[in-house]
Amino acid sequence: MAETTADVRRDIQLTHARMSDTLQELEKKMNVAQIVKDNPWPALALAIAAGVMLSGSRADIKAAAATVTATRGASGRLGSVLDDLVSQVVQGFHGAIEHRIESVANDVRRAIVAPLTGMAHSALSSTQASAPRAD
């Protein structure tokens, strides 16, 4: 018996709806924050048990030993790289501060000179205006 296009579309829509419902249920079940809110004491007990198991495995000591082994001999190279980096940062900072100070000094200089230039110009104008003209 041949299915019609409408039957196939209906089946697809039903499958899509079932899958959406299933995904929503899985999301609810996998929401760790909600699980902890709903069951705080068992979650706390589980966290403590996991902490005890991790501390008993001495994984932190193994990781620290692996880090020491991996970085052995790198301290000399790292020190010179850090020295160069700090030197560059300090030079850049010094240049930026020096530029800013010069900029502020120039602004102050312009602010002081402009009124003085205006005063000298107006004094010169008033002197010329009050002087008798020889015609």
Read out DSSP for 4-58?
PHHHHHHHHHHHHHHHHHHHHHHHHHT-HHHHHHH-HHHHHHHHHHHHHHHHHHT
- Let me know if residue 17 belongs to a domain: no
- Let me know if residue 79 belongs to a domain: yes
> Distance of alpha carbon 131 from its chain centroid, rounded?
69
- Let me know if residue 117 belongs to a domain: yes
- Let me know if residue 1 belongs to a domain: no
- Let me know if residue 23 belongs to a domain: no
Q: Give me the pLDDT at residue 120, please.
A: 60
- Let me know if residue 104 belongs to a domain: yes
Q: Give me the pLDDT at residue 76, please.
A: 64
Domain that holds residue 98: 74-128
Q: Give me the pLDDT at residue 16, please.
A: 92
How many structural domains compose the chain? 1
- Let me know if residue 115 belongs to a domain: yes
- Let me know if residue 99 belongs to a domain: yes
Q: Give me the pLDDT at residue 24, please.
A: 85
pLDDT beneath 70, residues of the chain = 1-2, 73-78, 114-135
Q: Give me the pLDDT at residue 74, please.
A: 63
